[in-house]
């Protein structure tokens, strides 16, 4: 009788361990694929193919080799946020109209006052400054590149100027009409 009771307890423990291990292995596999196979991981979702291709054609791709490095914080919290986002997007996939383009909600979605200005999907200045700093924006560059002198670079969201724009201010998530293609 004790043996049967012991086996039942062992099965429960094994089941609990398995249930706890599955998400960890799944999240770990997702993390490894994002870090080492970025070009294939994010594009797996057919809805992301056009945005990823547009991103690859942008200047952003030349300087930033992957999505996760800019769109998620480093460390455990960033890892969890990335995986929660992947899970949320997987669920949203089945709820959305497949004929509509993927695009973020209307801006501003939120302003995180605890950090520099930042928006959803978007990259908060704190993440930009982890690789670059405001001193990289020389006055001569500001005039040449921005067509105006930006007086207080640190107070403005970097993404207001540095985003996934392709041409004529078109964002990466907008569909290109045939007329725009001919005009461009």
Tell me the pLDDT tens digit for each residue of 105-132: 444 444 444 443 333 345 666 676 666 5
Tell me the pLDDT tens digit for each residue of 31-48: 677 666 666 666 566 566
CA-based nearest residue to 107, from 94, 126, 122? 122
Mapped onto helix, strand or coil, the DSSP state of residue 79 is: helix
Looking at the whole model, is its pTM more than 0.85? no
Mapped onto helix, strand or coil, the DSSP state of residue 165 is: coil
List, for the chain, all residue ranges whose pLDDT scores fall below the cut of 50: 105-121, 142-149, 165-184
C-alpha 125/C-alpha 129 separation (Å) is 6
Structure tokens given for 21: 């291990």
pLDDT at 174: 38
CA-based nearest residue to 149, from 158, 140, 157, 161? 140
Q: Which residues of 107-145 are buried (b: 16+ CB within 10 A; e: fewer)?
A: eeeeeeeeebbbbebbbbbebbeeeeeeeebeeeebeee
User: What are the CA-CA distances from residue 177 to residues 27, 172, 181, 182 (Å)?
Assistant: 38, 13, 6, 9
Mapped onto helix, strand or coil, the DSSP state of residue 115 is: coil
pLDDT at 40: 64
């Amino acid at each position: 009788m004790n043996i049967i009771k012991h086996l039942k307890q062992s099965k429960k423990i094994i089941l609990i361990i398995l249930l706890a291990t599955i998400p960890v292995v799944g999240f770990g596999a997702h993390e490894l694929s994002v870090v080492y196979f970025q070009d294939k991981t994010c594009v797996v979702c057919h809805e992301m193919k056009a945005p990823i291709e547009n991103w690859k054609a942008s200047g952003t791709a030349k300087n930033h080799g992957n999505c996760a490095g800019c769109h998620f914080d480093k460390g455990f919290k960033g890892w969890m946020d990335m995986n929660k986002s992947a899970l949320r997007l997987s669920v949203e996939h089945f709820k959305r109209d497949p004929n509509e383009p993927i695009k973020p909600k209307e801006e501003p979605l939120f302003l995180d006052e605890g950090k520099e200005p930042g928006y959803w999907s978007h990259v908060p200045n704190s993440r930009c400054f982890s690789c670059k700093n405001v001193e990289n924006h020389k006055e001569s560059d500001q005039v040449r590149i921005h067509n105006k002198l930006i007086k207080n670079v640190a107070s403005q969201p970097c993404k207001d100027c540095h985003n996934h724009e392709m041409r004529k201010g078109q964002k990466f998530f907008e569909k290109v009409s045939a007329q725009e293609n001919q005009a461009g």
